[in-house]
């Protein structure tokens, strides 16, 4: 353990304000080296040096978002559309029946795929994205209100949202506690916040370390465990009403890509191919990886189910309500 309270690079833990940190491991992305530092008290883990906008600009952001109009190839996009519609039916059941036209906010909405599914069933929809996100990708922009910028400064209906989503976006934020406080202000008294983040305390994260697919440094600035997320929610006057760690989308594929990464294949090569990025002269290697993915798909699905028991799955998904 080393005390880093006076270290200008990281400072105290932004969630519990603890000063005792431990260095877990380092990872190198292109020519940049990053370290993973974990708070000894709440177990929140941070990427150091902190990847602010200046550091992220050194990396190709078009690769992260995908270089085409959609992030993934058409086949994957169709699957995602169906998953979104199924998700909408599930989360609408949390809204009191008296609410006729629920207000939905998606923070980190990307192209608005989830919001479009809510729009189809008569909801009012708002989406927030980073200023660097390509605005021409926003879907149904004439009916969905999109904003790009700092969540703290945007003029949104206070206490008016019935559902607020932070779907794999909280780990990208500069200040998770500030974000959660703002979310609580925007949430309706009977509303719910749905938070999904990679589970840094999962069996996969511990097993694969720097090869873990969901680590995603430097884009992921924070890495949450069940404990750190509960502490964060409590400090934001929110209570946990449900927690799960199994994900159909993130679980099986994340495990398979982590296996490929740890066996010396080029970093996330198959995943990048699913986004439409093709490496010249790598056709045979990609076919081999496709074969491996097909073979491991069912075992990976079963493994994801098994590891989800005891909160050890690859994704933390929490439903929060006001205290």
Contacts of 287 (CB under 8 A, 6+ apart): none
Question: Please, what are the domains in the chain?
Answer: 62-214+223-246+315-322 (3.40.50.150)
Q: What is the number of alpha carbons within 13 Å of residue 147 lying toward its C-beta?
A: 16
The pLDDT tens digits for 20-43 are 999 999 998 877 899 999 999 999
Q: Whose CA is closest to 259, among 303, 223, 293?
A: 293
Report d(CA 315, CA 202) in Å as an integer.
Answer: 8
pLDDT band at 75 (very low <50, low <70, confident <90, very high): confident
The pLDDT of residue 69: 64
Lowest-confidence pick of 97-101, 138-142, 268-272:
97-101
By mean pLDDT, which of 71-85, 96-110, 218-232 is the weakest?
71-85
Distances (CA, A) of 59 to 34, 48, 214, 279, 287: 13, 16, 18, 18, 28
Query: Could you tell me whether strands 2-3 and 20-29 are parallel, antiparallel, or unpaired per DSSP bridges?
Result: antiparallel
Q: How far is CA 293 from CA 80, 183, 208, 282, in A?
A: 18, 38, 17, 16
Percent of the chain with pLDDT strictly greater than 90: 71
The Cα 220–Cα 215 span in angstroms is: 7
- Residue 232: CA count within 13 A, CB half-sphere: 28
| Higher per-residue confidence, 119 vs 280 | 119
pLDDT at residue 119 above 90?
A: yes
d(CA 262, CA 145): 42
pLDDT classification of 64: cutoffs 50, 70, 90: low
**pLDDT in the model for residue 96:** 85
CA distance linking residue 226 with residue 298, whole number of Å: 27
| 219-239: average pLDDT | 95
pLDDT at 145: 96
Average pLDDT, the chain: 89
Characterise 146 by phi-psi region: left (phi > 0), alpha (psi -120 to 50), beta (else): beta
| Tokens of residue 23, six digits | 């260095």
Per-residue model confidence (pLDDT) at position 152: 92
Q: Is residue 171 pLDDT above 70, yes or no?
A: yes
- Read off the pTM: 0.90
Residue 244 in contact with residue 197, Cβ under 8 Å?
Answer: no
3-state secondary structure the chain: CEECCCCCCCCCCCCCCCCEEEEEEEEEECCEEEEEEEECCCCCEEEECCCCHHHHCCCCHHHHHCCCCCCCCHHHHHHHHHHHHHHHHHHHCCCCCCCCCCEEEEECCCCCHHHHHHHCCCCEEEEEECCCCCHHHCCCCCCCEEEECCHHHCCCCCCCEEEEEEECCHHHCCCHHHHHHHHHHHEEEEEEEEEEEEECCCHHHHHHHHHCHHHCCCCCCEEECHHHHHHHHHHCCEEEEEEECCCCCCHHHHHHHHHHHHCCCCCCHHHHHHCCCCCCCCHHHHHHHHHHHHHHHHHHHHHHHHHHHHHCCCEEEEEEEEC
Q: Is the dihedral of CA 279, 284, 285, 286 positive or negative?
A: positive
pLDDT of residue 4: 40
**Structure-model confidence comparison of residues 241 and 280, the more confident one:** 241
Least confident of 57-66, 94-103, 107-116, 275-284: 57-66
Determine the pLDDT at residue 234. 94
Please say whether the beta carbons of 232 and 39 come within 8 A.
Answer: no
Which residue, among 112, 103, 102, has the nearest Cα to 81 in the 3D structure? 112
């Amino acid at each position: 353990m080393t005390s880093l309270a006076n270290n200008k690079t990281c400072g105290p833990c932004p969630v519990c304000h603890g000063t005792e940190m431990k260095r877990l491991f380092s990872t190198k992305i292109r020519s940049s080296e990053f370290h993973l530092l974990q708070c000894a008290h709440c177990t929140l883990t941070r990427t150091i040096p902190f990847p602010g906008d200046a550091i992220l600009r050194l990396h190709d952001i078009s690769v992260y978002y995908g270089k085409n109009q959609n992030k993934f190839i058409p086949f994957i996009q169709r699957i995602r559309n169906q998953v979104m519609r199924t998700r909408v039916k599930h989360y609408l059941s949390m809204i009191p029946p008296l609410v006729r036209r629920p207000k939905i906010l998606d923070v980190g909405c990307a192209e608005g795929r989830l919001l479009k599914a809510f729009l189809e069933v008569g909801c009012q929809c708002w989406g927030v994205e980073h200023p660097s996100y390509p605005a021409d990708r926003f879907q149904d922009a004439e009916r969905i209100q999109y904003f790009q910028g700092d969540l703290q400064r945007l003029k949104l209906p206070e206490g008016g949202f019935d559902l607020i989503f932070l779907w794999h976006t909280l780990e990208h934020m500069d200040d998770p506690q500030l974000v959660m406080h703002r979310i609580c202000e925007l949430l309706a008294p009977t509303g719910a916040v749905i938070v999904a983040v990679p589970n840094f305390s999962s069996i996969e994260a511990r097993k694969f370390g720097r090869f873990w697919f969901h680590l995603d440094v430097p884009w992921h600035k924070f890495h949450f465990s069940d404990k750190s997320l509960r502490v964060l929610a409590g400090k934001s006057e929110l209570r946990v009403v449900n927690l799960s760690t199994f994900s159909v989308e993130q679980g099986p594929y994340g495990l398979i890509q982590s296996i490929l990464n740890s066996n010396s294949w080029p970093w996330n090569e198959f995943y990048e191919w699913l986004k439409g990025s093709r490496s010249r002269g790598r056709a045979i290697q990609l076919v081999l990886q496709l074969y491996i993915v097909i073979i491991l798909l069912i075992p990976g699905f079963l493994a994801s189910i098994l590891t989800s028991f005891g909160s050890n799955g690859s994704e933390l998904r929490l439903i929060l309500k006001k205290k």
